[in-house]
Chains A and B, each alone.
Chain A
């Protein structure tokens, strides 16, 4: 049972936030350089947050064991991020500053994040750019050889550093190369094709993990002084999202079942410009970068169930609905507003495309105005990607787009030092809940993952480890580990024993439909209550009727997926409860009952200005709620309006 939530905010942050992190670094305990090698640290996940953390901890002298279920650390889904990374360098001399980036991020999060955490994020953003450049990340340069910037996500300054449309890839390759240097030096023991399936908690602290080798099926245990999870977001609970096929919530969820609080699961970000589904066997949705909305015009036909091709619909019969409803921001309204509007017009029967499941993003005017070459120079790779997937030429006909799940602001609860309520468990990157509040700004996910891994955890972990100097890590053959290993083996074997009639993917797809319909872009009490009853019912059917063929001691992808989908079922139920209890609209959580007369999200700061941190209460029992009240000393809380 958890007592008061203590976020351990830095001393004096309320009056001097600019020095709070610097002072806190001085206040935290240090581990002497010669003593660091006495500490074992486990890092699970090797994306931006995991690779940067593992590399940095090893550089400092800690003994690190890094785990990924991929064949190589570089396969993590951070690799697919397109747009860019924010850094408050003010190289463009246009008024950017650490304080402005901090302010923009808290406001963009719809006032549901911790100011102290976010200010620190803005402070270290400049160091990240330096580190990445030094590693050889090929950021875009202007002709003088200096770094280029672009505008992103509606910010009024140009603070985004980018590497063509592949910034995530290049940043990950930088962090991965730093990690591999440590592997070659012997300071990191890298375990690939190894999936974490349990956290071992003993005497009230995280002591290690239990894993399964996905090739041989062997269950192994690993103990350490501290465990770091950097295992990404849970967008695949929707089945269709911009996440990769293997992305899942399992490592975080198993930690949750062992006592780690899970915060704000209802805050999920739906990105407005993705390529719509083309058929029932769509396996994932592909992102089209937000930058396209700078030049494309969004529209649908005026007529319902329109059958004419886009080119045959005259101007007078087109509804440029964002321009119509929001004259001031037009096509550049924030992501949540654009997404909800797209859903409304498609639901009412004005969707475009063969399945009538999209809206148009039209570049005809931009091409007429600037010429095809200019548009190609700006968006060439994105237009190619679109054409490969749809077979349609966006230079001559409008792109079809539709919103898709993209990022999850919710995650495991952590304090200011990125430690969970379970001592010794640290959580980084998208896997934690902390910095983005109810809505993440564009170009900030890359920033947060690397901030956590390069510049926060390496300092804060010492504060925890220093007290354990002289203690050996638990023996990995201890009863606590053996019990966990036995359970993991039993669970794994159980999936094979059910011998039902439907595949794992079938249940994942059905779950995804429920979650998208009831806990998607727009939620209401009725739908959420239905979700709370239908999701467990579908899970029961899954447990009775799933078919997983083959055996456990070989590469068996269906077997791996069964366990991941099971964790998605449990998370989905918590998501519905979280969304039901939060009787306001904020960021990515939109409740139809709580909107302004203009149809915008309406927050209830008096009653809901807190983090909802949920505590596991056992199988079949809903989680207990713990509230972390949020205090805003610097950013003025206002109602968002875009007209």
Chain B
């Protein structure tokens, strides 16, 4: 059984996208170390409501680390101090009695703040829109076992497919680059036989869409450190390679080459 913590929270409050915003300080006592971080935020909010104050807006849904909705900067780290852990999976036993915890939204120009800790991450969907799919209309698929997929390729593709679309990579990057997100999705599909027909088109379209919204990658590697699924930086290297290959011989239009 856990023990109780007394904490000081400094939380970013902002009424709307055009509001300047500010930090508010809240004291929170008797938080069990067995509680999750977001359950602690729920306790904060119940207390605020009891005092007649509007609760802090923060987003969450599955609270199991798979939907990618939750997105808090905790003491300056995307998703907080524990590696490979989404905000909702973080538990208060990672903190100590008397701690001050600074809680902020994802900070990136391409993720404007909606209210308090909630941000707009629609540019991530714009990247998927551009090519994050395999074009196969329902009913036209061949038998599933017709195309063997080498186990290693399936496993690597899975590692990319495991991206939950949370945007922590963007939030952690000093340049607000989205290379890890984009590469994970590109490689998920590019590594598979099913993805070969559109490999070059997909790579160019997704990379170029990404560059409309996000900063440039200068190999800091903060993205991988923050990623709740620990997606490897290799995917970025492979995507850079695919992009170059596509451009150099115009593979997108000329075929596989």
User: Does B254 count as interface, using CB distance less than 8 angstroms?
Assistant: no
Among candidates B63, B150, B154, residue contacting A140 with C-beta atoms closer than 8 Å: B154
User: Does B139 count as interface, using CB distance less than 8 angstroms?
Assistant: yes
User: Does B118 count as interface, using CB distance less than 8 angstroms?
Assistant: yes
User: Does B162 count as interface, using CB distance less than 8 angstroms?
Assistant: yes
| Nearest CB of A to B118, in Å | 6
Interface size on A, residues (CB 8 A): 79
- Whether the pair A135, B136 counts as a contact (CB closer than 8 A) is yes
Report Cα–Cα, A16/B97, bound state, in Å: 69
Among candidates A140, A147, A505, A555, residue contacting B46 with C-beta atoms closer than 8 Å: A505
Who on chain A is nearest to B154 by CB? A141
Who on chain A is nearest to B162 by CB? A166
- Whether the pair B91, A72 counts as a contact (CB closer than 8 A) is no
Residues of B110-163 at the interface with A, using a CB-CB cut-off of 8 Å, are 114-115, 118, 120-122, 124-125, 128-130, 132-145, 147-151, 154, 157-158, 161-162
- Whether the pair A281, B68 counts as a contact (CB closer than 8 A) is no
User: Does B253 count as interface, using CB distance less than 8 angstroms?
Assistant: no
Who on chain B is nearest to A143 by CB? B151
Report Cα–Cα, A176/B49, bound state, in Å: 37
Q: A134-B134, A136-B192, A181-B133 are in contact. Are A145 and B49 (CB under 8 A)?
A: no
Binds A, one of B34-42, B171-179, B217-225, B242-250: B34-42
- Whether the pair A144, B121 counts as a contact (CB closer than 8 A) is no
| Nearest CB of B to A561, in Å | 11
Interface size bracket, B side: 35 or more
User: Does A454 count as interface, using CB distance less than 8 angstroms?
Assistant: yes
- Whether the pair A173, B39 counts as a contact (CB closer than 8 A) is no
User: Does A566 count as interface, using CB distance less than 8 angstroms?
Assistant: no
- Whether the pair A71, B121 counts as a contact (CB closer than 8 A) is yes
Residues of A130-165 at the interface with B, using a CB-CB cut-off of 8 Å, are 130-136, 138-147, 163-164
The interface centre, meaning the residue of B64, B150, B195 with most chain A CB atoms within 10 A of its CB, is B64
Residues of B within 8 A of A166 (CB): 66, 162
User: Does A367 count as interface, using CB distance less than 8 angstroms?
Assistant: no
Taken residue by residue from 1 to 45, chain B's Cβ proximity to chain A (1 for < 8 Å, 0 otherwise) reads as 110000000000001100000000000000011111011001101
Among candidates B54, B122, B142, residue contacting A71 with C-beta atoms closer than 8 Å: B122
| Nearest CB of A to B196, in Å | 11
A-B residue pairs, 9 tightest by C-beta: A145-B148, A354-B1, A134-B141, A177-B133, A133-B144, A130-B141, A138-B158, A278-B34, A244-B61
Report 16 cross-chain contacts, Cβ distance below 8 Å, ordered by A residue: A52-B138, A72-B122, A77-B67, A129-B144, A130-B142, A136-B189, A143-B151, A178-B133, A180-B129, A244-B63, A281-B35, A283-B42, A391-B33, A391-B91, A505-B42, A505-B46
Q: A71-B120, A141-B150, A169-B162 are in contact. List 8 more A-B contacts (CB 8 A).
A: A74-B67, A127-B139, A134-B194, A141-B151, A163-B161, A278-B2, A389-B89, A555-B118
Q: Which residues of B are interface residues toward A (Cβ below 8 A)?
A: 1-2, 15-16, 32-36, 38-39, 42-43, 45-46, 49-50, 52-55, 57, 59-69, 82, 85, 89, 91, 93, 114-115, 118, 120-122, 124-125, 128-130, 132-145, 147-151, 154, 157-158, 161-162, 164-165, 188-189, 192, 194-195
